[in-house]
């Protein structure tokens, strides 16, 4: 595996190998293999971030490498240079790239033309690093994802939900997408997903019944601000609060990829009651991404 472009492109063995390595790296951070010694990696972000930037910068350094951060304003991409030209130049100067941007095709094209390991740190299509960290968190809480049921509530057609759908298809656990009809995955997308591990419902209570892990994300993602008020109004019934939690398993965990907007997709009470899990997720971004970096470098 030279690149991490999506969960869709991974198979079950690759996911399990990454998560096994992530657990080892978390157990002893001081023993991180110095596989990036002498290497310079670039973080190319046209979308801002807290957790993604910090976790990747720390991860590259803990693996012995150096890192430079480039925003859209720092490079010619922000002025219209084709991604393939940027990739050709950077591929001759750096050893790997971590890209957080809008179009999935930009990451795919960068990997193709640069010839260097390329990691998708978020696009509008997928958020593979987040889901790997989430799966690591579920493993830590339950010992396995096998036989577990996960529910994703809210915007079921966002990048995180799509990555969860692919993870369910690859690993075989049951996933429920709970969303109003306007925010359900497109039929054309679901037609590409093999198997029958994913259920879609527009009933919030039904979505959480018998669920082991309830997951949500922000309702207004970057690039959706203009329709923010409308989205919030439609998604109100999908807020994870005390009333909805009554319909879930008593021992169910709540997950959120952060940042969280209390009073919108999740209440203050529920977030604080499950803060240990949610901030384990945030920490696991570091360990899962270090495992991705090691895997990509080793090929």
185 is in an annotated binding site: no
Give the whole-angstrom CA distance, residue 266 versus residue 273.
11
46 is in an annotated binding site: no
190 is in an annotated binding site: no
SS3 263: coil
SS3 6: coil
257 is in an annotated binding site: yes
100 is in an annotated binding site: yes
40 is in an annotated binding site: no
Q: What angle do CA 71, 158, 85 make, to 5 degrees?
A: 35
Q: Report which of 25, 16, 99, 95 is spatially closest to residue 56, judged by C-alpha positions.
A: 99
149 is in an annotated binding site: no
231 is in an annotated binding site: no
51 is in an annotated binding site: yes
Contacts of 282 (CB under 8 A, 6+ apart): 51, 133, 258
Report how far apart, in Å, the C-alpha atoms of 161 and of each of 57, 102, 271, 283 are: 25, 16, 19, 20
37 is in an annotated binding site: no
52 is in an annotated binding site: yes
CB distance 105 to 126 below 8 Å = no
Contacts of 275 (CB under 8 A, 6+ apart): none
CB distance 176 to 184 below 8 Å = no
267 is in an annotated binding site: no
221 is in an annotated binding site: yes
Q: Report which of 134, 67, 123, 61 is spatially closest to residue 95, judged by C-alpha positions.
A: 67
55 is in an annotated binding site: no
Binding-site sequence positions for carbamoyl phosphate: 49-52, 76, 100, 127-130, 257-258, 285
Binding-site sequence positions for L-ornithine: 159, 217, 221-222
Binding-site sequence positions: 49-52, 76, 100, 127-130, 159, 217, 221-222, 257-258, 285
């Amino acid at each position: 595996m030279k690149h991490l472009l999506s969960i869709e492109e991974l198979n079950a063995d690759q996911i399990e190998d990454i998560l096994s390595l992530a657990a080892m790296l978390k157990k002893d951070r001081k023993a991180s293999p110095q596989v990036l010694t002498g290497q310079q990696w670039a973080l190319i972000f046209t979308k801002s971030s807290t957790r993604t930037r910090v976790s990747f910068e720390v991860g590259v350094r803990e693996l012995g490498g150096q890192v430079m951060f480039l925003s859209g304003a720092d490079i010619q991409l922000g002025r219209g240079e084709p991604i393939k030209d940027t990739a050709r130049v950077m591929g001759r100067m750096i050893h790997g790239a971590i890209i957080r941007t809008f179009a999935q095709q930009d990451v795919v094209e960068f990997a193709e033309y640069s010839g260097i390991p390329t990691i998708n740190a978020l696009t509008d299509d997928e958020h593979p690093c987040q889901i790997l960290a989430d799966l690591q968190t579920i493993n830590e809480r339950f010992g396995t994802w096998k036989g577990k049921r996960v529910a994703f509530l809210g915007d079921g057609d966002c990048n995180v939900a799509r990555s969860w759908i692919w993870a369910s298809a690859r690993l075989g656990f049951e996933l429920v997408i709970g969303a109003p009809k306007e925010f359900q995955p497109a039929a054309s997308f679901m037609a590409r997903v093999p198997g029958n591990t994913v259920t879609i419902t527009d009933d919030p209570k039904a979505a959480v019944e018998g669920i082991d892990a309830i997951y949500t994300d922000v309702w207004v993602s970057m690039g959706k601000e203009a329709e923010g008020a409308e989205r919030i109004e439609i998604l109100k019934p999908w807020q994870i609060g005390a009333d909805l939690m009554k319909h879930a398993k008593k021992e169910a965990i709540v997950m959120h990829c952060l940042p969280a907007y209390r009073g919108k997709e999740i209440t203050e009470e529920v977030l604080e009651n499950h803060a240990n899990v949610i901030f384990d997720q945030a920490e696991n971004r570091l360990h899962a991404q270090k495992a991705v970096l090691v895997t990509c470098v080793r090929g």
